[in-house]
Amino acid sequence: MLDHTHCFTEGDLETDIDGVDVDDSRIYGLFPEFMPHLSDNAIIAAIGRLANVTNGDIKAAVESVPPAWGLTQNTRDKWGQMIVARRDKVGATITAALVAQRNLWA
């Protein structure tokens, strides 16, 4: 099981969701050890899979969070919108960013 505690915010999702920067251009988890395993084809394939995640998929995932977690519908809506915006931002920028990063390590 993965702990996704700070996957979206550094604190409480309910109170911090409005402060999430979906335009953050940093690439998280891109360690030098991973660079030899990246190729243009792998990057393009991953972006294709990301593009196939529909707004409906995201909404269903957010709505599947148990009510016991205490999220209001307003927070669920904002969370879904944030994930959609981040999906679109990453899809539009990650290929060029990863190629540039790979060239730094080459």
Tens digit of each residue's pLDDT (9 = 90 or more) over 18-48:
888 888 888 878 888 888 888 888 888 989 9
Can you state the angle between helices 40-51 and 73-105, rounded to 10 degrees?
A: 170
Kindly report, residue by residue over 44-83, the tens digit of the pLDDT: 898 999 999 999 999 999 999 999 988 899 999 999 999 9
Give the pLDDT confidence score for residue 22 in this predicted structure: 81
Give the pLDDT confidence score for residue 80 in this predicted structure: 94
| Rounded Cα–Cα distance for residues 73 and 102 (Å) | 41
> Please, is 26 exposed, middle or buried when counting C-beta atoms within 10 Å of its C-beta (0-12, 13-18, 19+)?
exposed
- pTM, two decimals, is 0.81
